[in-house]
Amino acid sequence: MNYFAHALAFLDQPYFVAGTAAPDWLTVVDRPVRVRRKHAEPLLADADPQVAAVAGGVLQHLRDDRHFHETRAFAETSLALSAAARRGLGDDAGFRPSFLGHLLVEVLLDAALVARHEAEVQRYYRALEAVDALRVQGAINRMAPRPTERLAPMVVAFCRERILWDYLEDDRLLRRLNQVMRRLGFSPLPDGFAALLLPARRLIDERREELLEGIPVAP
């Protein structure tokens, strides 16, 4: 799952929302840092309610992902989009079609939710803007295997960039996908890849409710 799907049911809890995004933020700015359930759970009872809320958001993210990735709907849509990527891109291993299939399911599910919950997207960003980025970073550093100084700047940049709106337009989404590809050392996607996005959007939208089954999100 992606940012908005994790947070949509919790928009009245800013630090919880930040916690739901933190594992994905870390993959962007400090990939070796991982937060695990066994490290986050003890902080649910922390005397600082903001730390407890961040821990709760992290745990929600981990529960969501574990359930989501085990569903039949995810397996089938990921496989279908991997196959479409392979057909569209040929045999260049640098494009990693299996990775793309996984990524597209998650990003396009968020896109489908953004299209249906535009007011809530505004609330999502207002919630994140309400948190103290350094306090979020401090809470994560209490549950991560090693501290990071990169998370707080990421929180600020994420609010500024408003990437969720980019998911709605193919050319802007392609630019965001290529940011991920470059970060992981994969070959950039060609402009023609955008032609694959419309049928991919339709597939994910058709199976949206199945993909969200068991997740605390109103589909």
pLDDT confidence of residue 92: 65
Higher-confidence residue: 49 or 94?
Answer: 49
pTM to 2 decimal places: 0.95
pLDDT confidence of residue 89: 87
pLDDT confidence of residue 140: 98
CA dist., res. 168 & res. 121, Å (int): 12
pLDDT value at 219 more than 70: no
To which residue do tokens 């396009």 refer? 108
The amino acid at 160: R
Q: Domain boundaries in the chain?
A: 3-212
Alpha-carbon Rg for the chain in angstroms:
17
Interval 179-212: pLDDT, tens: 999 999 988 999 999 999 999 999 999 999 999 9
Interval 25-73: pLDDT, tens: 999 999 899 999 999 999 999 999 999 999 999 999 999 999 999 999 9
DSSP 24-88: HHHHHH-TT----HHHHGGGGG-SSHHHHHHHHHHHHHHHHHHHHHTSHHHHHHHHHHHHHHHHH
Q: What is the DSSP letter of 13?
A: -
